[in-house]
Amino acid sequence: MNTPIGLTVGPVLYHWPRDTLTSFYARMADGPAQRIVLGESVCSRRRELKLDDWLGLARELSQSGKQVVLATQALVESEADLRLMRRQAEQGEFLVEAGDASALHMLEGREFLLSPHINIYSRQSLQFHADLGASGWSAPVELSLASVARINAAQNPVLDPQGRAVQTEVFGFGRLPLAFSARCFTARHHHLSKDECEFRCLGDADGLLVQSTDAEDFLVLNGIQTQSAALQCLLGEGAALRSAGVSRLRLSPCSQSFDEVLALFDACLNHGADAAASLAALQALPLPGRLANGYAHGQAGMKWQAEPEMQA
Amino acid sequence: MALGLLKIMSAILPRKPQLVCPAGSLRALQLAVNAGADAVYMGLKDATNARNFAGLNFDIDQAREGVAHAHARGAQVLMALNTFAKAEEPERWFRAVDAAVQMGADALICADTAVLGYAHQAHPALRLHLSVQASATSYEAIEFYREHFGIQRAVLPRVLTLSHVGHLLRHTAVEIEVFGFGSLCVMVEGRCALSSYVTGQSPNNAGVCSPPSAVRWVERTQGVQARLGDVLIDEYAKDEPRGYPTLCKGRFLVEGQRDYAIEDPTSLNSMALLPELMEMGIAAIKIEGRQRSASYVEQVTRVWRHAIDACATQGARFAVQPEWTHVLAQHAEGQQHTLGAYSRPWR
């Protein structure tokens, strides 16, 4: 039997209303993902849930048997951002996932995780972060599986200070977080300033679509974050993931069909379901965009190619 | 007595920031130094720096000649080694660190923890600057790099407002360098995968965004299409001025409206903020543009030299001279200037 690939529910990257978040995580409590990353990692102005609310949610999920991780904000600008991060770093209940070097500074010396926004492109860099206490890394989204394998080889993994192998996670499903800016593009589109944005992003459950002039879906505006319009999907790549030393996949929440997506990944990667049939079932779901997997294969991230496992 | 007076003077007068200018070639380096740059920054002819364009940058002999020219005139040479070492060949980046020492660079500008770690360990006397590509936006982040690698200066990402910059300066012992003029990256540097999403080449370790090899111009009856990889970045009418298809500066459709959805093609110009920046204690001001012509470098350097010198004596009475604005406007992308994140409209 293949070694299982753990599933991580990434932080909700969109500005969902409080009730939507609450019911989403109630469903996740019963879902197949073992690890759930909580918190607002994109915009400091989004306050549907405050840190104490997130911690309450974290305790509930923890009681349901989930491993809960708190995400820090990826782009830090103000002292208020740092204050929130300090509170996250100082609570001792849950692991924290560092989103930038400010978080690394607050977390080093204890066990923590690395978000995909920490730039790790070589084994030397991963070793440096492991020495600080990182027990797992989520690879930057643009890395190929070949590079991931080189950085943290299955046969010769990077070790943390306790001598444990650093766990590799890759971005397995969802719109790819591609860039951050000081500017809020959603507010800009609505001709509003960032300070008085009227929280228009509450209306974009999966972000605000950007198309090229010839009407191809291209990107998605999510406040200060820019994402791909296509959804990364590594559903059929179990063998390639395992040989690259990947032990976890991050699935990034979308507003519809996410429960079904999780079930399909679990069935396909860990319970022997047929890859082609699983992919066909996933593509039949009402997802917000088409699929892509180019990054995994060392190509442009927007490319999609049918997996070798399915061509066989 | 004289020393005491100097101390009092330096406490009253704002420190004059170093003017740090781009050198994409030996010619640009020489012109920048001659026009009054306190320091120039340059990179090697490969992916180890973030302006990896054909025909640009230095081999080791040119670098040595540049260092000799600069040092003879009291200017410094900073080497940009500001991409991230590739998993497949990190040694290339480590060799570039050694090359910086061999050529006599006054400091190395780096972003990658692997590169910083190597430099700090192999060449403990080498001065390290934290590149904008490291996207350190807080004093906590800067302190992290100082503690681990002994960085002596950090270049701030172009995302902070002036008041954020001031707050950061009050909480750090590290010298702070900010961007003064040049092309505006609207995304946080070092954290943008838009170009690799379209082309497969990452600016973070190939050193080039929207690479020329991926650009295609397609003539159509109604005008010209600018494509990057498979994506239509912009479309121009026959008589419309055309820009290079940097993908964040294209025109796209959002909810049926076609516009610059991410950023207008503009340049950053923070000259009007010089009194505040100097009052805050900024250590250096950086001019962007290693990919620009030697004459751009010379003219922009000269104008900024005048401005910084004037501001140092005039303080709050400093005013941007119309002839300076005129020269800078000629070199601005899209002939437009913005204060970028420093000013309120971005908030």
Q: Region B19-32: what's the mean pLDDT?
A: 97
Cα–Cα distance for residue pair B263/B183, rounded to 1 Å: 12
ipTM above 0.90, yes or no: yes
Q: How many CB pairs under 8 A join A and B?
A: 211
Q: Residue A121: which of B112, B160, B192 has the nearest Cβ?
A: B112
**A128 and chain B: CB distance < 8 Å anywhere?**
yes
Q: What is the pLDDT of residue B318?
A: 94
3-class DSSP assignment, residue B188: strand
Quick one: average pLDDT of B197-218?
Answer: 92
Per-residue confidence (pLDDT) for residue B51, from 0 to 100: 85
Determine the straight-line distance between the first and last CA of chain B, rounded to whole angstroms: 48
**Residue A271, Cβ neighbours under 10 Å: how many?**
10
DSSP string, B52-93: --TT-SB-HHHHHHHHHHHHHTT-EEEEEE-SPPPTT-HHHH
Contact B188, A74 (CB under 8 A): no
pLDDT score at A311: 43
Burial of A252 (C-beta count, 10 Å sphere; 0-12/13-18/19+): buried
Exposure on the CB side of residue A63, measured as CA atoms within 13 A: 6
- Token pair for residue A184? 């809020």
Record: contact A300-B200, CB cut-off 8 A: yes
Q: Do B114 and A209 touch (CB under 8 A)?
A: no
pTM passes above 0.90: yes
Q: Do B86 and A117 touch (CB under 8 A)?
A: no
Q: Give CA–CA dist B187/A226, Å, rounded.
A: 9
Task: Tell me how far apart the alpha carbons of residues A57 and A54 are, in angstroms, rounded to a whole number.
Answer: 5
Q: Order across the sheet with B223-228: list the strands.
A: B215-220, B223-228, B231-237
Q: Closest approach of chain B CAs to the CA of A193, in angstroms? A: 6
* Residue B180: strand, helix, or coil: strand
Q: What share of chain B is helix, strand, coil (3-state, %, to 5)?
A: 45, 20, 35
Q: In 3D, which of B138, B130, B142 has the Cα closest to residue B168?
A: B138
Superfamily of domain B13-184+266-346: Aldolase class I (3.20.20.70)
Cβ distance of A301 and B200 shorter than 8 Å: yes
Residue B337: pLDDT band with limits 50, 70, 90: low
- Rounded Cα distance, B281 and B16, in Å: 8
Tens of pLDDT, residue by residue over B9-19, are 555 555 799 99
Helix residue spans in chain B (DSSP H): 2-12, 26-34, 60-72, 90-103, 113-122, 139-149, 162-170, 194-199, 203-206, 274-280, 294-314, 322-330
Percent with pLDDT over 90 in chain B: 73
Q: Which tokens sit at A96?
A: 């924290």
Q: How far apart are CA B17 and CA B32, in angstroms?
A: 16
The Cα of A227 is separated from the nearest Cα of chain B by a number of Å equal to 9
Flag whether residue A191 sits within 8 Å of chain B, measured between CB atoms.
Answer: no
Q: Which band of pLDDT confidence, cut at 50, 70 and 90, is reported for residue B30?
A: very high
Query: Which residues partner with B218 through β-bridges?
Result: B225
Residues of A in contact with B87 (CB under 8 A): 121-123, 143, 147, 150-151
Candidates 2.60.40.1180, 3.40.50.2300, 3.20.20.70, 3.40.190.10; correct CATH number of A6-176+232-311? 3.20.20.70
Query: How buried is B147 (Cβ within 10 angstroms: 0-12 exposed, 13-18 middle, 19+ buried)?
Result: exposed
Q: State the Cα torsion A286-A145-A180-A301 to the nearest 10°.
A: -60
Task: Kindly state the helix (H) or strand (E) to which residue A6 belongs, with its residue range.
Answer: strand A6-9
CB-CB contact of A105 with B143 (8 Å): yes
User: Domains of chain B: which residue ranges?
Assistant: 13-184+266-346, 204-259
A-interface mutation test, from B254, B263, B339, most A Cβ less than 10 A away = B254
Q: Which residue of B has its CA nearest to A218?
A: B231
pLDDT at B40 over 70: yes
Nearest Cα neighbor of A37 from A302, A303, A252, A257 is: A252
* Residue A189 in contact with partner chain B when CB distance is under 8 A: yes
With an 8 Å Cβ cutoff, are A179 and B112 in contact? Answer: no
| Chain B residues in contact with A218 (beta carbon < 8 A) | 231, 252
**Phi, psi angle pair for B90, to nearest 5°:** -60, -25
- Do residues B316 and B275 lie in contact, with contact meaning Cβ atoms separated by under 8 Å? yes
Cross-chain CB nearest to B112 (options A125, A142, A302): A125
pLDDT in tens, B68-120: 999 999 999 999 999 999 999 999 999 999 999 999 999 999 999 999 999 99
How many CA atoms lie less than 13 Å away from A149 in the CB half-sphere? 13
The pairing of strands B223-228 and B215-220 is: antiparallel
The pLDDT tens digits along chain A (312 residues) read: 578 999 999 999 999 999 999 999 999 999 999 999 999 999 999 999 999 999 999 999 999 999 999 999 999 999 999 999 999 999 999 999 999 999 999 999 999 999 999 999 999 999 999 999 999 999 999 999 999 999 999 999 999 988 999 999 999 999 999 999 988 999 999 999 998 999 999 999 999 999 999 999 999 999 999 999 999 999 999 999 999 999 999 999 999 999 999 999 999 999 999 999 999 999 999 999 999 999 999 999 999 987 555 543
